[in-house]
Structure 1
Amino acid sequence: MSSSVGGRLEAVARERSLFGPDYLRLGALVLVAVAVHAWLLAHTALTARDSLGFARQALCFETPSAVPHEDGRPKNVVDLIRTSEHPPGYPLAILVVYKGLSCVSDAPVSDRALLAAQLANALAAVLLVIPTYLIGRMLFGRNTGFAAALLFQVLPVPARITSDGLTEGVYLLSTTVAVALAVRAVMAPRISAFLLCGLATGVSYLVRPEGLMIAAGPGAVVLGLGLARRWPRDRAFGCLSALVIGVCLVAVPYMVLIGKLTHKPAGNELLNPFAPARPVHYSAQAAPTTGAIGPLFAEWWNDEKDSGKSKTVWGVQAVFKEVSKSANYAVWPLALFAILALRRRFAAEAGPWVLVIIAACNFLLLLYLATRVGYVSERHTVLLTLLACPFAAAGLPLLATGIGQIFPRVERFGVRVTAAGLLVALVVASLPFALKPMHPNRVGHKHAGHWLAANMKSDEALIDPFCWAAWYAGRTLYRPDGYNPPQSRATYIVLENKAGTPHSRLPVLPLAQEQATRPGARVVYHWPENVSKDNAIVHVVKIGED
């Protein structure tokens, strides 16, 4: 005898993760991010010097035959990836944007490539609002996610760095996606979730090698929960294995190709603590001062100025200084206040621990970088700032509650209104500094480069210790050392007459200054053009035939 149960099969709707209120908040965040980055792109006089290397790598990916081997035969893309100092992630993103720009712009290759670098960085920074919002939403709620994403987009250092021709936008997008997946994985543990987190971590490594540290957050959480038997150990082992496999699937092929963890000099110094540190080259105008010329964007150990100091103490001070600037001095104190106030949640929830562990790893890595290499930059601290933003946003209602208890008149407005007012105050205080034009004092190098492109002949040599003019002149588009004929009838030299900011890492500058004092050297171009040569900022000096 058989029996059957009849019934109507119904399709179960997939559980939604985002709803109308989420989309409204994300739409507002995207509008703010587009406005901030579009303003900064439109008011960029000159990109950072490091952007030249990334744009060059992208151009070489497009035309690998333009870069010959040491034996003279042309390179291919695999050769370029194997020998390039930087991982391929960001240059490939630049190449995609450059291809699109080439369809709508007939600007010179030099201008187009640097604009592509900026756009790739800024577009990634706009997309960054999505994972940042999701992290805050998963940990503390919609309003916290909105406040965290908004705050990060308007902070001066992150906003400006992610609008320059640097890796930060693409790096932060990839790492923040990995962090969001890590938070989701430890809150709702599945093998697939940890595998996706590992894959995203591997992608972030292809942008910057330190992206591998993202795996430390979920890895340490899973290990701790497994050892404490809060998770079954077989589940913990499976999740940890999935995380490692995901990372290896993306990262190991690149490691095998280059034969090491990274080609970056600083990375190799960190991996080899017993090797002598690289010498740092400063220009004669690069005295480590922050007087009338404004603040530097990095802290450098100077053998003369810092002689006798403890490098460890100096490193701690340098890291705290750069982290404070990156967070606009208010975000990290607010984040630490929230962490202390919400410390009971850490005992019950695993999600916040992911951010705390990654932040601790990043901070320790910065300390090691500062003490080992003698250098730490604002650029290195933006991930720390991003990790602090969800906690800082969660601290706003807590701070509002405290203010209401101290000032009863404020309490009548309610916690939400007061917290929103504090967020608006932080945004308003940040925007004037975030929206300042970028690098206006170095625009003379761009004008000098365009002048050289129009006037310099192929059989004439060029010495440019600052790199920008040589780029815009078309001499260093595919080779960092540029092209100089073996027998040149004349030599052009680019110098700053009155430096607006200090420069570092300019080993060619002494040679350029010495050559410019030779008999027959004369200034053939200066910028600004409407002032006298003595009052100009940038000089182009020529030696040899007219």
Structure 2
Amino acid sequence: MFRQNHYIRIKTVNKTCNIKQFELVVEKKRLVERQDFVHIAVLAAIALVIGVYLIAATVLISKDGVFYIEQAQKLQQNPAEVITGQPPGYPFLILTAHKLVSLFADKAAVHGWIYTAQVMTLLFRIAALIPLYFVGKLLVGRKNSFWAGLIIVLLPYPAEFGSDIIREWPHLLFLATGLLLIILGCKYNKWWIFGTAGLISGLGHIIRPECAQVVLYGMVLLSIRFFRPPAEVGRDKTLIALILLVIGFAIPVVPYLNARGKILPDKVKILISADSGTSQSDFELKNGPIVYDCSFVQVGKAAGKLVIRICENLMYLFAVAAIIGIYDYLRRPKWTEDKIMISLFLFLNILMMLLLYCQYDYLSRRHCFPLSIMLVLFVPAGVDMLACLANKKILKGWVLVKENSQKMFFVIIFLGMIIGFPKLFRPMGSDKEGYRSVAEWLNKNTVATDIIAVPDVRIAFYAERKGIEYNEQIPVYADYVVRIVKSTDEKPEIDKNINAEYSTWVNSLKKSRLVICKAIN
């Protein structure tokens, strides 16, 4: 039996005699080959072009983008407040990128923060393609991994996430790198790789807590190896690898948890408190236990919502291919270590999504993003099976040939990409372009001390004014009020006299207007 990281090459020794002699040459299989550099360069170039276009065409960043920029600004003024709240990793990256850019240009204005954060996120998206490519290469082969990478680059929602100011791609970079290191550690039996995987997982945990799952997968695989050790690896090295995995994770996480003053993420504490009904010490919730519904009906709704969100991320056609591809991968009789890890990844991430929906009755495309991207790795295999099936149905009695199946493969891939192209090149926030016009007016016609009541915090952010977001009741101390109205006769319900100062359409559909009203004391 040869190890997995070796392959057999038959070499002719004697060509002169009639009886040919052969010898088996066992060579170590290289992880990185010349063709891999070409594939990664192509994927990175396409991702860069699309990302730059989306950044240049951005009308409005997401609400979370505003939150992360404000957190980054607070981080240099009051870091303790940021650390004790949401994970500070992504705001720290924004702040670091902004400080680097500030060395060469004046980026103090709001647009400087926006463009710097967008470019930084795009670079993380491009970097994340590298570990994703090699994870795919180890799981499904080099060719399928390249096609999967191309699909990832051209999918509209992942592309949008990579040009917006959100933490999905930075988190995925650390998650995919950790998974790659776990696979390599098992494949090449290198105990030190597990320590690096733990360190990467710990750094990713500071960006998003879910990155800690890498340590869980490593612990499970190393536990299996400890009780069923391979011939070439003893229990002592397995134990060392396990210890290094935990130490690597603890190096960045322990100081962060010490500064934060809490161990578990808030969402996990809510689930524990809701399940037990009691809480103590760090697990205590000030607002009391929150009850969540995990009945069969609610779980069914959660499963349905999860399927819909994944289908949206993968443009439906690729979602079908992903299901077929992952089924074909998991049904293989031999349970290898990478197959065990992928099974654990699917189980844990699906479970987290179901619990999230049961708790909050909400599940977004961003929540399902890591799961969706990992499923894309199996799309080419699923498309190949769909191509063979379609080829049989179309040709009917004809002889099935490889060339016809390959043509059908390209047709299905091309069709899936065509479905997503309209959304891929749609500018972010184009459905709220009026927000920018209102923000520009406020910036030019108000002073910095004015308080603006806004239906969306992004209006005040772009206007560089202090904004108070409201739902129904407008704050009485607001100097200006921005309202979304369907009729120009509508007036805000406020205990002050008001004058309409400016109005514009929300978007090109012209179904509602944004009206700026000035309060008269």
Aligned twin of 1:178: 178
What pairs up with 1:333-412 in 2 under 5 angstroms? 333-343=320-330, 345=332, 347-406=334-393, 407=395, 408=398, 411-412=401-402
Tell whether 2:509 aligns with 1:522. no
- 1:347 counterpart SS class: coil
Partner of 2:451: 461
Q: CA deviation at 1:367?
A: 0.5
Deviation digits for residues 147-189 of structure 1 (CA, Å, limit 9, x no counterpart) = 1211112122212122211111211111111111122122222
More contact order relative to length (CA 8 Å, sep ≥ 6) = 1
CA distance in 2: counterparts of 1:262 and 1:113, whole angstroms: 31
1:58 to 54, 63, 72: 72
What is the CA distance between 1:204 and its match in structure 2? 1.2
Distance 2:115 2:450 in 1: 28
Match of 2:11 in 1: none
Alpha-carbon distance in structure 2 between the residues aligned to 1:278 and 1:418: 59
In structure 1, the residue matched to 2:126 is: 126
Q: Distance in 1 between matches of 2:506 and 2:389?
A: 58
Structure 2 counterpart SS, 1:429: helix
Determine the structure 1 residue equivalent to 2:482.
Answer: 494
Q: Is the 8 A contact 2:204 2:212 kept in 1?
A: yes
- Letter aligned with residue 207 of structure 1: I
User: What SS does the corresponding residue of 1:375 show, helix, strand or coil?
Assistant: coil
- Matches of 1:349 and 1:535 in 2, distance apart? 57
Q: CA RMSD in A?
A: 3.5
> What's the CA shift string for 1:321-362, capped at 9, x where partnerless?
212212222334323322333446562521233223112211
Structure-1 residue corresponding to 2:254: 252
Whole-angstrom distance in 1 between the partners of 2:70 and 2:466: 8
| CA displacement 1:97-129 (0-9 Å, x = unmatched) | 323444566566222212222222222111221
Shift of the 404–320 alpha-carbon distance from structure 1 to 2, 3 Å rule, reads closer
Which of 418, 421, 428 aligns to 1:431? It is 421
Q: Contact 2:483 / 2:514 at 8 angstroms: preserved in 1?
A: yes
Letter in 1 for 2:258: V
The answer to whether the 8 A contact 1:88-1:206 is kept is yes
Q: Which amino acid aligns with 2:154?
A: V
Gaps of 5+ in 1: 1-13, 65-74, 280-302, 500-512
Q: Which residue of 2 aligns with 1:318?
A: 305
TM-score (norm 2): 0.80
Q: In the aligned structure 1, how far is the partner of 2:210 from the partner of 2:506?
A: 44
Whole-Å Cα distance in 2 between the matches of residues 86 and 427 of structure 1? Answer: 36
Q: 1:100 to 1:15 in 2, by over 3 A?
A: farther
Task: Point out where structure 2 has 5 or more consecutive residues left out of the alignment.
Answer: 1-27, 279-284
Q: What is aligned with 1:42?
A: 56
CA distance in 1, matches of 2:519, 2:357: 41
Q: Which amino acid aligns with 1:255?
A: L
Contact 1:493 1:516 in 2 (8 A): no
Whether the 8 Å CA contact 1:46–1:446 is kept in 2: the answer is yes
SS at match of 1:380: coil
Greater mean alpha carbon deviation, residues 183-192 or residues 419-428 = 419-428
Task: Give, in angstroms, the shift of residue 138 of structure 1.
Answer: 1.6
Using the alignment, how far apart are the partners of 1:54 and 1:145 within structure 2? 33
TM-score (normalised: structure 1): 0.77
Quote the offset at 1:538 in angstroms. 1.3
| SS of 1:200 mapped into structure 2 | helix
Q: How big is each residue's C-alpha offset from its partner over 1:197-233, in whole Å with a ceiling of 9 and x where there is no partner? A: 1111111111111111232333323333444455754
